[in-house]
Amino acid sequence: MHTPIGDRIILGITFLGEPVFLLLICLGIGIRLLYYHCRSQATTLGMVAVGAAGLNYLIKVIW
């Protein structure tokens, strides 16, 4: 089942779940929300993004 192209595709998909990548996406969305004066949504997004990344790291360390 393993092929070189299949492995590269799966590694690319896995990269999309990296905390740094997700935080950068959330940062971009948060900046856009602030630009359109949606301060409460931007704050909520920031708290959720940092909390999710922190929880992800904590679970990996504990597990």
Predicted confidence pLDDT, tens digits, the chain (63 residues): 789 999 999 999 998 888 888 889 999 999 999 999 999 999 999 999 999 888 988 998 998
Q: CA–CA separation, 39 vs 31, rounded Å?
A: 10
Q: Are the beta carbons of 29 and 49 closer than 8 angstroms?
A: no
Quick one: pLDDT at residue 26? Answer: 93
Quick one: pLDDT at residue 48? Answer: 94
Q: Are the beta carbons of 21 and 15 closer than 8 angstroms?
A: yes
